A = this chain, B = another copy of it.
Amino acid sequence: MVVKGMPNLIECVPNISEGRRPEIVEAAVAALRSTPGVKVLDVQSDRDHNRSVLTLVGDDASLKPAILALFEAVLPKIDLRTHTGEHPRLGAVDVVPFIPIEGVTVAECVALAKSVGSAVAERFVLPVFLYEDAASAPHRRNLEDIRRGQFEGLEAKMKEALWAPDFGPRAPHPSAGASVIGARMPLIAFNINLGTSDLEVAKRIAKAIRNSSGGYRFVKALGLLLEGRGVAQVSINMTDFKKTPLHRVFETVRAEAERSGVAVVGSEIVGLVPEEALIDAADHFLRLEAFRPNQVLERRIREAESGSVKP
């Protein structure tokens, strides 16, 4: 449960089907920024995909009006009937994931996704599918499965019993299609570099650690070769760092590599990582006893800002 007065921090990464007209992307960002408590961290537009990825953070109270304002701003301006681009898409506001960062659980983000999905469907008469941890059935968890057939195939697909929307009408919005809204844990892109150019070693280790072949529950991995460096790499997506932590995967890769007489020469985190994932790693390797997150000075400051510390 979100505790009133405690800081809660949720990331939201709406993908909109517009990457060529800057004035529409700017209108989307302005709509998000118009809601107090929301911060836009990043905007990436891709002309070939004709798509933009907006990264924002806020709390459980501010994100709902922000996302409604986003729909309000872009729905009149994006028409899927004339939209072209390389990236698969189902709607004008294509995907909206909510991601728990701090002081909030994934279950609370699921509740937020449902609340936003319901409001969007009602206000804009638009079908909404819930996905990932918010999915209403196992076959609707994966975005790729929901999006298969794209906007052009949506009308026929929605007539199937399996593909009724979670909210809104049983047919696509004429110009805006449908939206996929959900919740998931933050994804960490974590690559581990091996002291060998033997791709087979990296492939064997990837197989050992990934869920699909018997490894850790929240690990996706594959082996690849960094051609320029002549380094074999285990390329990993960590899909729940709380349940499958970085340090455990790192130690397992190290032990498996050693079995092949190979050293771990380095690792890299691509993109952003929640502070907690790194603090958990420090906690593990330093063998800390009874360490509390609010011993981190910066976190104590955030608590003071949100009014939960009253000296």
Contact = CB atoms under 8 A, between A and B. Distances in A.
Interface string A207-232: 00000000000000000000000000
A304 B250 contact: no
- 6 nearest A-B pairs in the assembled complex, by CB-CB distance: A285-B285, A281-B282, A278-B282, A43-B311, A266-B289, A282-B282
A303 to B, nearest CB: 9
Contacts of A286: 246-247, 250, 267, 281
Nearest to A193: B289
B281 A285 contact: yes
Interface stretch (A109-117, A125-133, A160-168, A290-298): A290-298
Contacts of A250: 285-286
Contact of A40 (B39, B279, B311): B311
Q: How many copies does the complex hold?
A: 2
A242 interface: no
A102 interface: yes
Most chain B CB inside 10 Å of its own CB: which residue of A271, A281, A286, A295: A286
A67 B11 CA distance: 36
A93 to B, nearest CB: 18
Contacts of A271: 295
A260 B186 CA distance: 43
B267 A298 contact: no
B272 A41 contact: no
Contact of A301 (B57, B278, B301): B57
A297 B311 contact: no
Q: Is the interface of A mostly helix, strand, loop or mixed?
A: mixed
A34 to B, nearest CB: 15
A199 to B, nearest CB: 19
B311 A288 contact: no
A145 interface: no
Given A41-B300, A295-B272, A304-B39, A267 B288 contact: yes
Interface residues of A, number: 51
A265 interface: yes
A275 B298 contact: yes
B288 A266 contact: yes
Interface in A252-311: 264-269, 271-275, 278-279, 281-283, 285-291, 295-302, 304-305, 309, 311
Contacts of A23: none
Contacts of A309: 41-42
Interface in A152-187: 186
Interface in A26-55: 29, 39-43
A244 B310 CA distance: 34
Contact of A297 (B29, B272, B290): B272
A80 interface: no
Contacts of A266: 287-289
A261 B256 CA distance: 27
A288 to B, nearest CB: 6
Contacts of A305: 39
